[in-house]
């Protein structure tokens, strides 16, 4: 509902936002997990944002140097 109400359709933006919302958990496990995922996501995110700004079109992930760390 959050993504619909804010008109966020791009799957990479959705991942970025979702990772930013995960907090705490028992023994802070959720926060440690998300910190690891964000570190993996950063190289892809930087390239994606640079290319997306330049081209203004949907990005073909297969052409990227830094592939996304998520399989689906």
The answer to whether residues 61 and 39 touch, using CB atoms and an 8 Å cutoff, is no
* Inside any domain, residue 71: no
Least confident of 10-14, 22-26, 64-68: 22-26
6 compared with 26, residue with greater pLDDT: 6
Average pLDDT over residues 14-38: 86
Residue 10 has pLDDT above 80, yes or no: yes
Is the pLDDT at 8 greater than 80? The verdict is: yes
In a domain, 68, yes or no: no
Tell me what pLDDT residue 53 has: 64
| DSSP letter string, 3-65 | HHHTT---HHHHHHHHHHH----GGGHHHHHHHHHHHHHHHHHHHHHHHHHHH-S---GGG-S
pTM as predicted: 0.60
Look at residue 44 in the predicted model and tell me its pLDDT.
Answer: 87
When divided into structural domains, the chain yields a total of 1
């Amino acid at each position: 509902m959050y993504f619909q109400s804010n008109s966020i359709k791009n799957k990479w933006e959705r991942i970025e936002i979702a990772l930013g919302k995960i907090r705490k958990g028992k023994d802070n496990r959720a926060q440690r997990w998300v910190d690891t995922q964000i570190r993996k996501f950063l190289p892809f995110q930087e390239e994606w944002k640079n290319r997306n700004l330049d081209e203004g079109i949907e990005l073909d992930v297969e052409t990227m140097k830094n592939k996304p760390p998520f399989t689906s």
